[in-house]
Amino acid sequence: MSVIRPVCHNDLAGLMALAAKTGGGLTSLPEDEQTLSERIDRSIKTWRGECPKSQQGYVFVLELPDSGQIAGICAIEVAVGLEEPWYNFRVGSQVHASRQLDVYNHLATLSLSNDHTGVSELCTLFLDPDCRGNKNGQLLSKSRLLFLASFRQHFSSHVVAEMRGVSDQQQESPFWNSVGKHFFSMDFGRADFLSGTGHKAFIAELMPKHPLYVHYLTGEAQDVIGQVHPDTAPARALLESEGFRYRNYIDIFDGGPTLECELAQIRAVRHSRLVSAEIGSPPENAPLCLVASQNYHDFRTLLAPADPRTGHVYLTADRAAHLQADAGDMLRIVTLSPKDSSDDVIN
C-alpha cells in the first residue's frame, strides 16, 4: 500500500535519493541538499500560512508505510511568476506575403512569454523507477487534483503543468542545442541545474527578446517542440485524461509542452464527492478510487476499491489508519480511471 502525505523535514534524505535517480532534466528536483531543504521548509510554511502568495507551494511525498521509503514526490505551486518571472515560449506564427510575386509564407515562431503569471502549477512529479507499478504513478499524479478540489480557495482558477521535454541519457537536448545553447553559452545540464536551484536571473538577461523563426532551428529541434521525454509520456497521458491540453506553450530549455486546464473543468475536481467513512469490507467488483482525507494540515490520499455512487466509502482498518480517518469522517472520493466516472458533475 502507498500513501500520499505532506512533506516533512525528515524526508530530506529520501528526496536526495530520488533526485539522484532523475537523470537530470527535472528542474524542480535538483540533486542539491540546500535547495531541497529550502523547498521542504517553504512547503511547511505554506501549510502554516506563513508565506505570501508569491512564495506558496505545497510538496507531497509518496510513502511506502511498511518500509518508510519515500518513493515519489509531487507538488503544486500556488501562483507562478509573482516573485520571479515564469518564462515559456509561445508557439505562434507570422505571415510573409507578396501579392505582386504571388508568395504567401506562414512561418512558425517562438516568442518569450509570461502569459501564465499568477496561475497554479502542478510540478515536481517523479516516481522511483523501482516503484513504477501498482498504480503508484496514477496515485502520485492525481492525488494533487483531490487537494485542489478540496481546498480550491487557495489556488488560481487556471492550472498548468510543464512537461519534461526530450533529452538523452547524456543530458543532450536537441531543442537546447538549437536554441538556448547559442544564448546562454553553457550546456543544458548546467542551465537546468541553475534554474532548479533558484538562479534564474540569467534567463531574463540572456534570452532573446524578439520572436525566433522555427524554420531556423535544426530538424531535430523542430521535431521535439511540444514533445515529452519518454519517461514523461505516461504523466502526460494521465493529465490529458483529466482534461489538460497543450495550447502552444513550451519550455524555454527543452521544448517540452505546457498542459493547461481550468481548475473547475478537471475531471477529478468535477466528479469527486464527499462521502462518509465506514470501517468494513468494500463491495465486490467496486472500481479503484482515489480516497482523500479532508484534513488540510495533514492531508492523506490512497487507493481503495469503492462504490462512488453511494454516500459512504468502506475502508479496511489498515486503510483507515493510513488516512488517519475514523468512522463518520468525511472523505473525498473519485474513481481513479475516467472511464469509471459518472456523467454527473458533483462537488
Residue 12 corresponds to which cell in the numbers above?
Answer: 530530506
Residue 70 CB neighbour total at 10 angstroms:
21
Q: Where are the alpha helices (DSSP H) in 162-288?
A: 174-178, 180-184, 188-196, 201-206, 219-223, 233-241, 267-271
Tens digits of residue pLDDT in 174-206? 999 999 888 887 887 777 777 766 666 677 677
Q: What are the beta bridge partners of residue 315?
A: 279
Instruction: Report the SS3 class of residue 273.
Output: strand
Predicted local confidence at residue 347, as pLDDT? 44
Predicted local confidence at residue 345, as pLDDT? 42
Which residue in 172, 151, 126, 130 sits closest to 28, CA to CA? 126
Residue 170 — very low, low, confident or very high, per pLDDT cuts 50/70/90?
confident
CA distance 151 to 195: 29
Angle at 223 between CA 222 and CA 228, to 5 degrees: 115
Interval 50-62 mean pLDDT: 96
On whether the CB atoms of residues 196 and 28 are closer than 8 A, the answer is yes
Residue 5 — very low, low, confident or very high, per pLDDT cuts 50/70/90?
very high
Return mean pLDDT, the chain: 90
Tens digits of residue pLDDT in 226-279? 999 988 899 999 999 999 999 999 999 899 999 999 999 999 999 999 999 999
Predicted local confidence at residue 343, as pLDDT? 44
Active site residue 106: no
Instruction: Report the SS3 class of residue 296.
Output: coil
Predicted local confidence at residue 214, as pLDDT? 95
Residue 266 CB neighbour total at 10 angstroms:
22
On whether the CB atoms of residues 339 and 288 are closer than 8 A, the answer is no
Residue 344 — very low, low, confident or very high, per pLDDT cuts 50/70/90?
very low
Interval 99-128 mean pLDDT: 91
pLDDT at 32 over 50: yes
User: In this predicted model, which residue has the larger pLDDT, 224 or 312?
Assistant: 224
Residue 34 corresponds to which cell in the numbers above?
Answer: 540546500
Find the catalytic residue in 116, 154, 229, 322. 229
Predicted local confidence at residue 346, as pLDDT? 42
Interval 304-314 mean pLDDT: 89
CA distance 263 to 151: 11
pLDDT at 284 over 90: no
DSSP label at residue 32: -
Predicted local confidence at residue 24, as pLDDT? 60
- How far does the chain reach from its first CA to its final CA, in angstroms? 27
